[in-house]
Structure 1
Amino acid sequence: MMRALSILLLSAFIFNLSAAEELSSPLPHAANNFNLSYIQNEASCSYSVVITTSCSSSKYTRDQISIAFGDAYGNQIYAPRLDDPSSGAFERCSSDTFDIYGPCAYQICYVYLYRSGPDGWKPESVKIYGDNSRAVTFTYNTFIPSDVWYGFNLCNDASSSYQRYGRRWFMVMIMGLLVFVLLYAY
């Protein structure tokens, strides 16, 4: 009986830790203090950016679309015009891949999109692959307002997310040890 109760408690604890992490995904926002002046002109690293347009977006857009992304150390990559109406980019239910060159960045922790034009556009997600960082996906699933940088800045959370992961791992280990002691003490 005590063994079953211990296993049930450990399972509930682990489930709660994993569920809490999933619920805390941030929403995109307007970047009031975003500044493009940090852009370096060197192009020593390549990035592959996959932008998926939502199926609830307009059929196509003629809007001008730009992107800026970077790391917590001030390395910023900027592509002023991703759109090309003749290429069929940003059509509803499609994914477009862009090869962008810029300064070498560490883990990408922010991305902003800029849209200018009358059509409107709703990206589903932006996934960025870099030479020096693991792939990261930012989920938008909302229409981008016109004439404002709009997206995510998780750089302040980058170090704290690793700390949360470390604390979570430590708590799971303690709970596992406690269950082990309970199981074999009886």
Structure 2
Amino acid sequence: MRNCRGSSLACCVLLLSLLVGGESLAPENKNNCTYKVTIQTTCTKDAGTSNHVRLRFGDTNSNDILVRRLNAKHVRRVDPLEPEVLDDVPRKPFQACMVDEFQVKGQCVQSPICYLYLKLTGADDWRPGFAQVAMVEGTSTHLSSDNFYFHLYLPRHAWHGFDLCDREVTPFGIKHKRKVFVN
């Protein structure tokens, strides 16, 4: 440990890991899970958008996954009337009457995904129908979210969504704690 004084922190971690029996004490890679995000845009007139869409989702253990530009993660579109995947047709995501799939990498959740927020940045409107996040690999499908139903035009430049994590049943109904996001 004396030799690590002018060296990097990584050197110290490596040396310390060798001293404790070869087990690495380096921080875990939190970007090791892949998620499939499915978002439907409603068929209402002018429901589609070409604006930037942000996504934020997570679980009860404060594992928060933020996607700054969901448009760039587009994988494919699925025709809701025909379950056929339309991969060969180049187009923009979030068009009216379409279902889009995106692939996102982020830290792994330890409990089921229970909140999802969308943020629209730009000048035109967008009316999503539903959004859903599913784990791609492994046997962690029980951690996937239910559908989050929007069916309204999203406000611009503000997070809008649902938090089903922290809720309490009261005599007056279900009380939800509100999340506040600054970015």
Which amino acid in structure 2 is aligned with residue 144 of structure 1?
A: L
- TM-score w.r.t. the length of structure 2 is 0.60
Which amino acid in structure 2 is aligned with residue 104 of structure 1?
A: C
**Are 2:66 and 1:69 aligned?**
no
1:94-109 pair list within 5 angstroms: 94-105=98-109, 106-109=111-114
* Unaligned residue ranges in structure 2 (runs of 5+): 1-27, 75-89, 170-183
Among 136, 142, 146, the residue aligned to 2:152: 142
**Are 2:133 and 1:128 aligned?**
yes
Aligned partner of residue 37 in structure 2, secondary structure:
strand
Aligned partner of residue 87 in structure 1, secondary structure:
coil
Q: How many residues align?
A: 120
Shift of 1:118: 1.0
Distance 2:36 2:148 in 1: 14
Shift of 1:154: 0.7
Shift of 1:57: 5.1
> Partner of 1:51 in structure 2?
39
Query: After the TM superposition, which segments of 4 or more aligned residues of structure 1 sit over 6 Å from their partners?
Result: none
- The CA deviation string for residues 40-90 of structure 1, in whole angstroms up to 9 with x for no partner, is 982111111100001015263121101000001010111111125973200
- TM-score w.r.t. the length of structure 1 is 0.59
Distance 2:47 2:154 in 1: 15
On the 8 A contact 1:60/1:88 being kept in 2, the answer is no
Shift of 1:140: 0.5
Which amino acid in structure 2 is aligned with residue 134 of structure 1?
A: S
> Partner of 1:92 in structure 2?
96
- The CA deviation string for residues 111-166 of structure 1, in whole angstroms up to 9 with x for no partner, is 00000111100000001112531342100111110000000011013x87xxxxxx
**Are 2:124 and 1:114 aligned?**
no
Which amino acid in structure 2 is aligned with residue 97 of structure 1?
A: E
Distance 1:57 1:45 in 2: 36
* Unaligned residue ranges in structure 1 (runs of 5+): 1-39, 161-186
Distance 2:161 2:124 in 1: 19
Of Structure 1 and Structure 2, the greater helix share is in 1
Identity of aligned residues (%): 31
> Partner of 1:14 in structure 2?
none
Distance 1:41 1:51 in 2: 27
